[in-house]
Amino acid sequence: MATVITPKPASSTIVGSPINIPQKKYKMVTENVNVYYGNFLAVKNISIKFPEKSVTALIGPSGCGKTTFLRCLNRMHDMTKSARVEGKVMIDDIDLYDKSIDPIYHRRKVGMVFQKPNPFPTMSIYDNVVAGVRLNGVRDKKILDEIVEDSLKMAYLWNEVKDDLKKPAIELSGGQQQRVCIARALAIQPEVLLMDEPASALDPIATQKIEETITELKNDYCIIIITHNMQQAVRVSDYTGFMYLGDLIEFRETRKLFTDPKNELTAKYVQGHFG
Amino acid sequence: MFRSNVKNRLLVDKIMMGVVFACVITAITPLLWILGTLFYGGAEALSWEFLTQEPGAVGGGIPPAIGPAIQGTLIIIGLSSILGIPIGVMSGIYLAEFGGSWFSKQIRFFTDVFMEFPSIVLGVVAFLAIVLILGHFSVWAGAFALSLIMFPIIARATEEALKMVPWSIREAGTALGLRKWIVTLRIVIPAAKNGIITGILLSVSRVGGETAPLIMTILGSSQFFGGLDSPMDALPLRIWRFSLQPYDEARLAGWGAALVLVITILAIHIGVRYWFIHRRKSMGMSPRFSKVGV
Amino acid sequence: MTRLIDPSLDKLSRLMSQMGDMAMECVSLAVDSYLEGKGTGGRVRELSTEITTKYFEVEDLTFDMLLKYQPVADDFRLIRSSTEISYAFSRFGRYAYDITQVRHLFGDISECKNDSLFEAAKKVKHMIRDAVLSFAELDVRKAVKIQEDEAFIDRMYKERLPKLIESKNTKCALAEALLLRYLERIGDHAVFMSDAINYIVTGKHRPTQEQISSHISKN
């Protein structure tokens, strides 16, 4: 089921899973994931294997289902009444959608960072970062202090805010707020990190910092990132998946997908002919 | 063509400003006049005895005191709040967070209708439900009636305040693996705090001045608070009683009582607001004006 | 839908096709001048200089496109290969000029002609034409022919050189050695060019083992 060669017309769905990297384990595997909004099938039968300690980018034009698919990976669709998810999403061989497991417990294994920075408005930086931990019952101040420092260091924000952790988080700039959100997501010690266009609301320098952060984090986490910015995908990711109208059109190593895409539709999209 | 009527548009602009300003003055003037009259008419009656003694016998030249009335107003507001606030806030939370079902639509409709009920009707309800059953007028009945008035105001204000909290905050909380009630209680409600407080203050102001329900429930009295099971005095009742008496001292006392009522409500407002604004400033929730770093 | 990068790509393709035409003309003239004693040195030099100028233009243009547009996929491979191909064109011009200089330096060499030289010269002219057409049409099938021609020239080069040592006519031997050398280099660059064209079309780099080892042994 490895790579496919000849360019085919746009309607065909082609998936190339990176089976040819035998050394890497897969952290997250999706099998035949379909998502319905009412009667509308928004995500069509997607099966992807995400390797551990890597960054996978999902690209595609607006409305192609990337965000919908990403939200399956931590069961965010439970919040939406009209959404129905079919298929399996497995972390280390545990299916998140299995009826017998507690979804909230397993949801903590998957952290999420959103497009627009959304720190809790009434909380300080410290409180924000620890929110996921403290509100789950951990009270010990020493442990919390440690978590705050570790998480902010991982998010490359520690040095900038360490002197004023009680400051309300919403008083920070956009880029700093986003890094607080990243620290907050990391504080619950997830195994997979989902990022939905994390830098799209930020200025170029903040974007650069976020990208640097992601590049560092990939040494420890499996990261899945949605981006509209082709060059960002090239800079930051190891694997890239191209989605169109709910289908996964192509999934390969980033460098190969961007220098020599096998599917004609992929080639058209990455070169800016539409989207 | 675009430039030539700039002068006209500026003139229209000025005229509209003038009209709007005039409207504002027209609206405020009666209000200021009332406040002025209150001060002018009532200041004379104020004295320590006036504020703390029982009314005593009518006649005699000095304005009857309103001690019990002040005490009664504070008690009835407090008791109604204890009854009305928790239920109102809980309902508001239910409507905002768990709304969407047929049931909550009915609740919302019911609440809206309830808000428009004439308060005298609610007084009659309380009369029938409590006074007649127990056989006597009581503070319970009054608190019940007033809480019925407070409940829809608080419920709606809470619901609106919670709806104003951006959806992304709830998403962030959920994404952290927190259960829904924790997200609501520890994250969303603190963010909606100001709106909820405003709703509560509005309802307190409203019931502070309600007279009709009190007539049928706590009746009024000339003594200080004598237990939750007996009638009690309140400022609106006392003012009404004073206004019906032919004596000049009673009239003066009425003005004084009205002044005291307005000042009391004002004090509650300012006090609660100040407490929250002061707290807010120290938490630093003022608008961002410095963006340091990146 | 016209993208921002399209006008630059058009300009690139115009430059490259001009260079291709000039390279073909240049090498033809040079080879003919040698074999038939025509005085084409001036024209060849003109063409060679112009090709080099255009080569610098192409370099500037490709780097400019990389800076501005960060191209990917087909665009990227085209731009990347264009640098190699335009370099090959500039080399053709240069070697063509060198060939005309042989006659210029050595004087009359009309007695030095022989059949194998004609053969080699014809092959080189075909090779260049194939390479230029292959690029213009992005047709990789010609690559096979180009490789065969290059192998032929390589073989001839290796066969003839030792024999020249025993030649009685020093002038002709040297002239032939130089010519063979230049023809062989032109052949090499034609193959590099076809590899670059192959990369544009298929995305695969394909240096052959022989090329790698022949590169090393020459250096």
Here the CATH number for the domain that contains residue C21 is 1.20.58.220
pLDDT of residue B64 exceeding 60: yes
Residue B145, helix vs strand vs coil? helix
Spans of chain A, pLDDT less than 50:
1-15, 17-20
Residues A213, A215, A220, A221: is their CA dihedral positive or negative?
positive
Interface contact flag, C75 A271, Cβ < 8 Å: yes
- The complex scores an ipTM of 0.84
Q: How many Cβ pairs closer than 8 A exist between chain A and B?
A: 90
Task: Report if residue C80 sits inside a domain.
Answer: yes
- Residue C1: closest C-alpha in chain A: A273
Instruction: Decide if domain B70-234 falls under CATH 3.30.110.40.
Output: no
Give the burial class of C125: count Cβ atoms within 10 A of its Cβ; 0-12 exposed, 13-18 middle, 19 or more buried.
Answer: middle
Q: State the smallest CA–CA distance between residue B162 and chain A in angstroms.
A: 13
Rounded-to-10 torsion of CA B19, B24, B30, B36: -130
Q: Which residues of B touch A111 (CB under 8 A)?
A: 175-176
Q: What is the pLDDT of residues C106-138, one digit of tens each?
A: 877 777 767 778 888 888 999 999 999 988 888
What pLDDT shows up at residue B290?
A: 41
Structure-model confidence comparison of residues B290 and B76, the more confident one:
B76
Summarised one tens digit per residue, pLDDT across range A72-85 is: 999 999 888 889 99
* C87 in contact with chain A, both atoms CB, cutoff 8 A: no
pLDDT score recorded for residue B286: 45
Chain A nearest-CA distance from C139, in A, is 16
Contact state of A259 with C71 under an 8 Å Cβ cutoff: no
Number of separate domains in chain C: 1
Q: Give the count of Cβ contacts less than 8 A between chain A and C.
A: 36
Chains that touch A (3 or more CB pairs under 8 A): B, C
Report, as an integer, the average pLDDT of B134-142.
85
pLDDT tens digit string along B237-287? 888 888 888 888 888 888 888 898 988 888 888 888 787 766 655 554 444
| pLDDT tens for each residue of B119-130 | 888 888 888 888
Substitution target in A59, A231, A265, A271 with the highest count of C β-carbons within 10 Å is A271
State both tokens at A170: 């919403």
Using a CB-CB cut-off of 8 Å, the residues of chain A touching C73 are 258-261, 266-267, 270-271
pLDDT at B97: 85
pLDDT of residue B59: 61
**Within an 8 Å CB–CB cutoff, is residue A76 touching chain B?**
yes
What is the per-residue DSSP string for A14-63?
Answer: -----TT-TTSPEEEEEEEEEEEETTEEEEEEEEEEEESS-EEEEE-STT
User: Which residue in chain B has the smallest CA separation from A109?
Assistant: B177
According to the model, what pLDDT value does residue B92 have?
Answer: 92
The confidence score (pLDDT) of residue B219 equals: 82
CA distance A266 to chain C (A): 9
Domain boundaries, position C170: 6-218
Task: Assess whether pLDDT exceeds 90 at residue B13.
Answer: yes
Enumerate the domain spans of chain A: 120-189
Residue B1: band (very low, low, confident or very high) from pLDDT cuts 50, 70, 90: low
pLDDT digit string (tens) for C68-81?
Answer: 999 999 999 999 99
Candidates B170, B176, B185: best to mutate against A (most CBs of A within 10 A) is B176
Out of B140-149, B176-185, C199-208, pick the least confident: C199-208
- Predicted pLDDT of residue A53: 93
User: Under a CB-based contact definition with an 8 Å cutoff, are residues C85 and C18 in contact?
Assistant: no
Q: Is A161 in contact with A183 (CB distance < 8 Å)? A: no
* Chains linked to B by 3 or more Cβ pairs within 8 Å: A
Residue B183 reports pLDDT greater than 80: yes
Cβ distance B71 to B225 under 8 Å? yes
> What average pLDDT does chain B have?
85
Set of chain A residues whose Cβ sits within 8 Å of the Cβ of B292: 173
Query: Is residue B3 predicted with pLDDT exceeding 80?
Result: no
Instruction: Give Cα C4 to chain centroid, integer Å.
Output: 32
Distance from CA of B102 to the nearest CA of A (A): 14
| Interchain contact, C73 vs A270, CB within 8 Å | yes
Nearest in space to C28 (alpha carbons), one of C100, C88, C81: C100
Contact by Cβ (8 Å): C129, C25? no
Reply yes or no on whether the pLDDT at B166 is more than 50: yes
d(CA B250, CA B255): 9
Chain B residue closest to A181 (CA)? B172
Q: C212 or A64: which carries more pLDDT confidence?
A: A64
Instruction: Name the residue of chain B whose CA is nearest to A173's CA.
Output: B291
Instruction: State the smallest CA–CA distance between residue A175 and chain B in angstroms.
Output: 5
Do residue A271 and residue C77 have CB atoms under 8 angstroms apart? no
Q: What are the chain B neighbours of A132 within 8 Å (beta carbons)? A: 176-178
pLDDT the model gives residue B221:
80
CB-closest option in B186, B190, B294 to A175:
B294
Residue pLDDT, tens place only, C4-19: 899 999 999 999 999 9
Higher pLDDT: C219 or C196? It is C196
Alpha-carbon gap, residue A136 to C138, rounded angstroms: 62
Residues 202-231 of A with CB under 8 A from C: 230-231
Residue C1 forms part of a structural domain: no
Tell me the two tokens of residue B50.
């006036």
| Residue reference for tokens 């780099």 | C205
Structure tokens given for C135: 């690029």
Distance from CA of B15 to the nearest CA of A (A): 41
A10 touches C: beta carbon within 8 Å? no
Domain residues of chain B, as ranges? 70-234
> Sorting pLDDT into bands at 50, 70 and 90, what band is C217?
low
